Copies of this chain bind each other. A is one copy, B any other.
Amino acid sequence: MNAPRPPRILDAWYVLAWSHEVRAEPLIRKLYGDPIVLFRSASGQVGALEDRCPHRGVPLSTGTVVGERLQCGYHGWEFSCAGRCEAVPSFLGEADHVGRRVPSYTVREQQGMVWVWGRPGAEPTTEPFDLEYADAPGYTVIREDVRANATVHAVAENALDVPHTAYLHGGLFRQATVRNRITAEVKRWHDHVECEYIGEPRPTGLVGRILSPSGGIVTHYDRFFLPSIIQVEYRIGDENHIMITAAGTPVDDYDTRLYAVVALKTRIPGFIIKALKPLGLKVFQQDAEILDRMTETTQHYGEEVYASTDVDLLGPHILKLMRRAAKGELGDPRDEPWTKSVEMDV
């Protein structure tokens, strides 16, 4: 197969792990298929190195942390978090040498997540995405990571797509038969795209009054930020606010892990929220299964073939932004956003 490879964006931040997962014990993670070893040094610093000892090519993840360094499991060579060779046992000469350095990734640890800059040895030009509300007072926060055998753009589109829910998840909640005419307002900036849904039905009757005494006006936004951040925001009245933000990590071209943070301020009781988590995971499981089948077909035919209509609100924009970014062709941040209004039945 000579499939045109999905867009790869190296100059950007990706989450490789939750903070609590990174300890002295080396942890192997992948980015675009390349193995990266993560470890926490004695002083608490997180190192992210290419998982290959320059000596004989053995994975450094076979080794152990010794103070501030990672020691290879084969001959005991030691490397700093910056990839510098600090020790070559038996050898009487100088350990450090240009040919004995390991490519290292810049690391940021914030909001409970370990981010790395996707291009090893490069200086980041931005900071990692700020997960608004991830640590805001009055919000309940749930963290979970999930994985699908599909490209970042397929996973992002799927997460932000409304029409499929009536079919793929039809048995679980939405009904394909009852339809509402709504308006979707799409705005695309140079590095992100947003869709606002206008006219979505709001909860009525007793549930509505309990949930939202203030009147229950619904606002709903779906957003995608380069390189791979997915965001869904719901407000029902002043009392209820749900903000789901997921950072997508391209483990490989067709393998995406989502690090999701759900921040909630709501009158819905905690035990109901808790009870909804298995439902959410079940929904994602259905998505992961269909995405897996989509990837199989794509790989059989050698390329992705997409035929879109107006109701594919965000997918084509996500792919356009990602393709541009992969070529280093970001638009001008000062430009007015591209906008479109779409009427549809949901």
Contact = CB atoms under 8 A, between A and B. Distances in A.
B309 A58 contact: no
A211 B164 CA distance: 66
A305 interface: yes
A54 interface: yes
Contacts of A275: none
Interface string A276-309: 0000000000000010011011101100111111
A91 interface: yes
Nearest to A75: B164
**Tally of this chain's copies:** 3
A89 interface: yes
A335 interface: no
Interface stretch (A92-100, A191-199, A240-248): A92-100
A86 to B, nearest CB: 14
A65 B346 CA distance: 22
A56 B93 CA distance: 59
Contact of A298 (B54, B57, B305): B57
Contacts of A320: none
Contact of A76 (B89, B167, B294): B167
A90 interface: yes
A238 interface: no
Given A290-B74, A298-B57, A307-B55, A344 B163 contact: no
A290 B55 contact: no
B344 A306 contact: no
Contacts of A56: 154, 294, 306
A344 B293 contact: no
Contacts of A93: 309-310
A162 interface: yes
A344 B297 contact: no
A6 to B, nearest CB: 13
Contacts of A74: 164, 167-168, 290, 294
Nearest to A342: B92
A346 B90 contact: yes
Contacts of A311: 88, 90-91
B304 A57 contact: yes
A90 to B, nearest CB: 4
B58 A293 contact: yes
A62 interface: yes
Interface string A96-108: 0101100000000
Given A54-B305, A75-B163, 8 more contacts: A55-B306, A58-B293, A71-B167, A72-B167, A75-B161, A89-B345, A92-B310, A100-B307
Contacts of A99: 307
28 contacts: A33-B300, A34-B300, A35-B297, A35-B300, A52-B305, A54-B307, A55-B306, A57-B294, A58-B297, A59-B296, A59-B297, A72-B167, A73-B167, A73-B168, A75-B163, A88-B309, A88-B311, A89-B163, A89-B166, A90-B162, A90-B311, A90-B344, A90-B345, A91-B163, A91-B344, A92-B343, A93-B310, A100-B307
